[in-house]
Amino acid sequence: MSQERSLVALTQFTATSDPERNFGVIRDLVEQAKACRAEMVFVPEAFDYIGESGRESLALSESIDGPRMTKYTQLARDNQIWLSLGGFHEKVSGKELMYNTHVVVDCNGSIISKYSKAHLFDVDIKGKVSLKESDYFMPGSAIVPPVETPVGKIGLGICYDVRFPELSLSLAKQGAEILTYPSAFTVATGLAHWEVLLRARAIETQCYVIAAAQTGKHNEKRQSYGHSMVVDPWGCVIAQCREGTGICLALIDRAYIKQVKSQMPVSDHRRNDLYTEVKAI
């Protein structure tokens, strides 16, 4: 059972198509977080690599029990720290597609939960952004129940999932205290919607929202918005990474979640007789 107040760390960096280089960056950031006495580190979507093409991404993908994930579970064990690994390119046996999988690793290096991204980002805005994840990813088929960690019960999402309140409400109904959306938001959508979406999800669920993000130019075709942040249950941004590679720290206060819910009891005021209830899984 987690304590009432816990320190978390968010990482932010610019992944490339070199998994070994990316691991080295994350290892350094995790060690920084450990030195700051964080209990859990949150890593962005596509932390393992960002390929220059769908074909390259498929070629680089590995199974969840392969050598690449083994290095990350060893990293958690070596530092005795929990990791939220925000979006692993999980190879699907017998298919020319992958899952985008969020993996939670405990301080002993054991994988205790994983969730595959349900909502795929297929968008073409002329002159701004063109990306079709369904060309090389399979959508996940289930909402994963919140996982108990030293910092609270965490509901797992990934990036584009943040636009769908049905997911966040379902996780909150199942007891989530924290929602996490590791991301690689495009610059165009990030400038317009990143902060407001994260704050909205926090306000409507009365949960903390943790969103570690990719930042900067990955290659000639891809650039990410950055601005890793933590939002509290009242909708206030309480931590945010500066530009570039680094970490930020935030205190998760479970007593404050209870306080917000008691002072603004929206869950008691839902008019399920007027609209379809978001059902828990």
pLDDT per position as a tens digit, 149-162: 999 999 999 999 99
Q: Which residue is associated with the tokens 């050598």?
A: 67
Which residue is catalytic, options 39, 90, 91, 117?
117
Q: What percentage of the chain exceeds 90 in pLDDT?
A: 86
CB atoms within 10 A of CB 243: 10
What is the pLDDT confidence band of residue 278, given thresholds at 50, 70 and 90? low
The helix (H) or strand (E) run that includes residue 78 is: helix 67-79
Distances (CA, A) of 59 to 20, 107, 122: 15, 30, 21
Residue 280 has pLDDT above 60, yes or no: no
Residue 90 has pLDDT above 90, yes or no: yes
Smallest Cα–Cα separation from 261: which of 212, 203, 211? Answer: 203
pTM attached to this predicted model: 0.94
Judge whether 132 counts as a catalytic residue: no
pLDDT score recorded for residue 95: 84
Judge whether 248 counts as a catalytic residue: no
Residue 43 has pLDDT above 70, yes or no: yes
Helices (H), strands (E): how many in the chain?
6, 16
pLDDT score recorded for residue 128: 66
Amino acid occupying residue 280? A
Cα gap 109→172, rounded to integer Å: 27
Q: Mean of the per-residue pLDDT values for the chain?
A: 94
Q: What percentage of the chain exceeds 70 in pLDDT?
A: 95
The answer to whether 162 and 51 are in contact (CB under 8 A) is: no
Which residue is catalytic, options 159, 207, 241, 248?
159
Which residue is catalytic, options 39, 45, 90, 133?
45
Residue 1 has pLDDT above 50, yes or no: no
Judge whether 241 counts as a catalytic residue: no
Q: Which of left, alpha, beta for 199 (phi over 0: left; psi -120 to 50: alpha)?
A: alpha
What mean pLDDT do residues 55-60 have?
Answer: 95
Architecture of domain 5-269 in CATH? 4-Layer Sandwich (3.60)
Residue 12 vs residue 268, higher pLDDT: 12
- Can you name the residues that pair with 57 across neighbouring β-strands? none
Give the residue extent of every domain in the chain. 5-269
Q: What is the pLDDT of residues 180-207, one digit of tens each?
A: 999 999 998 999 999 999 999 999 999 9
The answer to whether 188 and 125 are in contact (CB under 8 A) is: yes
